[in-house]
Amino acid sequence: MSEEQNNGAAAPADAAAQTAPTFSVEKIYVKDVSFEVPGAPAVFNEQAQPQLQMNMNQSVQRLGENAFEVVLGITLTCKIGEKSVYLAEVKQAGVFGVAGFDPQTLDGLLGSHCPSILYPYARQLISDLIQAGGFPPFYLQPVNFDALYAEGLRQRQAQQQNGDGLADAEAAGNA
């Protein structure tokens, strides 16, 4: 009889363990990489100060019920005047196991935490590409993905409010 009481007490604990939120890094890999030096070898004789421009984007794809692929894309363009010195493009990807989170927390994990995990890999790869291309080492500065995510969330909310305001105005105009 005491076994039945233990089994009864253990069952809710097992159910709670199954529904507890889980996060795991399943795989990190380079999805795409490109490095171009269109003006080589003449570009190595240039003496002017180069200008760097970095563009970053990310995409998320659901792979299964609890699996997501997050791809962090970084493009670094170096120019002297109008001439391109080099172009480095990296798409660093990861497969993440995520289960048991509410939609808002899941969105935050995929939009901020996962890119934070991928960024150091992309940063190192870009640095290695630039150096292998014959240029001095260049290290991308750290990025605050929490702040970027918060800004993106604020912009989405503003767009939704503007969209709702337009719908309300149209409805009022039609009345």
Residues with Cβ within 8 Å of 102's Cβ and at least 6 positions away in sequence, in order, are: none
Q: What is the mean pLDDT of the chain?
A: 86
Backbone angles phi, psi at 25, to 5 degrees: -95, 115
Work out the angle at residue 5's Cα, subtended by the Cα atoms of residues 3 and 6, and round it to the nearest 5 degrees. Answer: 65
- Give the fold, CATH level 3, of 20-160: Bacterial Protein-export protein SecB (3.10.420)
- In tens, the pLDDT along 84-115 reads 999 999 999 999 999 999 999 999 999 999 99
Tally of residues, the chain:
175
Please give the Cα distance from 131 to 14 (Å, whole number): 52
Confirm if 127 and 139 have CB atoms less than 8 A apart.
yes
Q: Read off the pLDDT band of 163 (50, 70, 90).
A: confident
Helices (H) and strands (E) in the chain, counts: 4, 4
Q: Read off the pLDDT band of 46 (50, 70, 90).
A: confident
